Amino acid sequence: MCLIRTFVAVDLPDEMREKIKDIQSKLEPFDLRLVGPELVHITLKFLGDMPEEKVSAISEALDSIECEPFEANIAGLGVFPKPSYAKVVWIGAEGNFVKLHDEVESSLKSFRFKKDRRGFTAHSTIARVKNIPKADKEDFLRILDELKDVEIGKMYVDRVKFKKSTLTPEGPIYETLHEAKLG
């Protein structure tokens, strides 16, 4: 049995990639692992490792999502879990993502994937923090504060993508296995 690492996501439009790159350039002085701008997305549900044979059944389940397409605003910079102990740097996403997330959860219920331990927050990870030494913390927090209200742009969410993630030393490679249209 071949296991593949998978997730369900909304891709950001290509025209947002330059803006993401600009924001990431402001974070370059710090010890972070930046996410390639072309890979930045909004994860609705991480499925983890699963048998490849389930791809068509999951694709079919995702086609049953009942959520109308919606307008979303991609804006604001933040960190998880908190600024004094940042592990992930993200860009916020506002729109009907909670309903969409709940619909994804509901459509996949019969597969018994793990429920998210933390509540769902729509976001796009743009960097993972390796280490911020005490000497750099003040500068890091200042840049986060300067970018907290950054505007990336508006987008129309009309599909979700079921993706495979192959981890490599150079970073992940994503492949879309299925695209489910909303509405």
* pLDDT tens over the chain, length 183 residues: 799 999 999 999 999 999 999 999 999 999 999 999 999 999 999 999 999 999 999 999 999 999 999 999 999 999 999 998 999 999 999 999 999 999 999 999 999 988 777 789 999 999 999 999 999 999 999 999 999 999 999 999 999 999 999 999 988 999 999 999 998
* Residue 6: C-alpha distances to residues 22, 53, 141 (Å): 29, 13, 33
Please tell me whether the overall predicted TM-score, pTM, comes out greater than 0.75 for this model.
Answer: yes
Q: Are strands 85-94 and 3-11 parallel, antiparallel or unpaired?
A: unpaired
Query: CATH says 3-181 is which class?
Result: alpha beta
Name the active-site residue from 45, 101, 123, 161: 123
* Residue 41: C-alpha distances to residues 11, 37, 108, 121, 180 (Å): 5, 9, 20, 13, 16
The secondary element (H helix, E strand) that includes residue 141 is: helix 134-147
- The question of whether 101 is a catalytic residue gets the answer no
Domains in the chain: boundaries: 3-181
Name the active-site residue from 11, 41, 77, 155: 41
